[in-house]
């Protein structure tokens, strides 16, 4: 039972004179989510943000920008083109579209190159691959219209593959509870003052969105043995937290390999589990985003067993 946990992601910032994206209302966002072949499960809101938990990941909508992540075999690029068609390209200040490293790219509905063709019919931009094709690699497209990133516009992404240890076992067990998962992910210690909205899937899998003012975080757990994947993403400045959030999650989930992607955020590796860095790559985007990608592998990686097919 293979499920592709790794996500595709769009983030679009609209121009100042565009009406609030939140005022587009739930039916519009529902149609965006359907276009990607996902569904809204629940939501949480505050003064600044509506956060939707999806059957396959998350959607965050602020007044002037939105962020949508979908996993599995969803077709997120169609949501991106729907958005541009609906608001018009002149309303787009900045758009980016990412695809994370996939376990089984050949099972996806499209390749990044296919997605790129559709995007470039709507908006011009640049596209890059980070990392070698025979190792972890990520794709990004971003619009090339003039735009200047706001001060403090940070994104931190931690993508964990092959989780291990007691937590990994718990996350695939039939005795897990939503409280048990929250505890093992240490949500209370790490991000206790966020309003959260979470969901425990059957027979396993867990998603959580959290918001606090304009800040957000999201975690998605695909614990299936052999192709397990857990992602964490936030716009928090990780250098200013009381706890090293990435390091804590890495120790809790004990992944065999992990990728760190930062926009205007450098990796802080000192408290990571013992590791080797297998690859790293950086890009300075004209709009004021310094993009950094690093791929790590745990040092004491297990001796692999052949997988019978």
By beta-carbon proximity to a second copy, the closer residue of 135 and 169 is 135
Q: Is 177 exposed, middle or buried (0-12, 13-18, 19+ CB in 10 A)?
A: exposed
Instruction: Judge whether 295 and 136 are in contact, CB under 8 Å.
Output: yes
By beta-carbon proximity to a second copy, the closer residue of 209 and 228 is 228
Q: Which of 89, 104, 148, 243 binds a second copy (CB under 8 A)?
A: 104
Q: Is 77 exposed, middle or buried (0-12, 13-18, 19+ CB in 10 A)?
A: buried
Q: Which of 36, 54, 71, 116 binds a second copy (CB under 8 A)?
A: 116
Q: Which of 43, 281, 288, 290 binds a second copy (CB under 8 A)?
A: 281
| From 207, 228, 231, 294, the catalytic residue | 207
Quick check: 111 binds a second copy (CB under 8 A)? Answer: yes
Beta-carbon contacts of 148 under 8 Å, excluding residues fewer than 6 positions away, are 287, 288
Quick check: 300 binds a second copy (CB under 8 A)? Answer: no
State yes or no: is 7 an active-site residue: yes
Q: Which two tokens stand for residue 101?
A: 């490293």
User: What's the CA gap between 49 and 133, in Å, rounded?
Assistant: 37
Q: Which of 37, 227, 235, 248 binds a second copy (CB under 8 A)?
A: 227
Q: How far is CA 27 from CA 32, 55, 154, in A?
A: 9, 16, 29
| From 6, 49, 56, 71, the catalytic residue | 71
Binding stretches for a second copy (CB under 8 A): 101, 103-106, 108, 111-113, 116, 126-136, 139, 161-162, 226-227, 256-257, 276, 278-283, 297, 301, 303-309
């Amino acid at each position: 039972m293979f499920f592709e946990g790794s996500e595709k992601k769009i983030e679009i910032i609209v121009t100042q004179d565009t009406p609030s994206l939140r005022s587009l209302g739930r039916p519009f966002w529902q149609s965006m989510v359907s276009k990607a072949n996902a569904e809204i499960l629940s939501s949480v809101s505050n003064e600044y943000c509506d956060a939707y938990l999806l059957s396959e990941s998350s959607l965050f909508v602020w007044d002037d920008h939105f962020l949508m992540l979908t996993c599995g075999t969803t077709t997120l690029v169609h949501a991106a083109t729907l958005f541009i068609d609906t608001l018009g390209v002149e309303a787009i200040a900045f758009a980016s579209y990412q695809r994370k490293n996939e376990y089984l790219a050949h099972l996806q509905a499209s390749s990044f190159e296919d997605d790129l063709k559709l995007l470039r019919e709507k908006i011009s931009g640049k596209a890059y691959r980070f990392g070698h094709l025979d190792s972890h690699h990520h794709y990004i497209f971003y619009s090339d219209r003039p735009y200047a990133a706001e001060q403090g516009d940070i994104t931190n992404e931690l993508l964990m593959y092959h989780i291990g240890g007691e937590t990994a076992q718990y996350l695939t067990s039939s005795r897990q509870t939503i409280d048990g998962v929250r505890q093992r992910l240490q949500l209370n210690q790490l991000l206790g003052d966020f309003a959260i909205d979470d969901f425990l899937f059957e027979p396993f899998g867990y998603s959580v969105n959290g918001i606090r003012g304009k800040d957000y975080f999201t975690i998605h757990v695909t614990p299936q043995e052999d192709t397990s994947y857990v992602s964490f993403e936030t716009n928090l400045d990780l250098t200013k937290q009381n706890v090293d959030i990435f390091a804590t999650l890495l120790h809790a989930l004990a992944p065999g390999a992990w990728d760190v992607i930062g926009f205007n955020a450098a990796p802080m590796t000192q408290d990571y589990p013992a590791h080797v860095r297998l690859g790293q790559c950086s890009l300075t985007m004209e709009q004021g985003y310094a993009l950094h990608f690093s791929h790590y592998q745990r040092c004491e990686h297990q001796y692999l067993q052949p997988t019978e097919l």
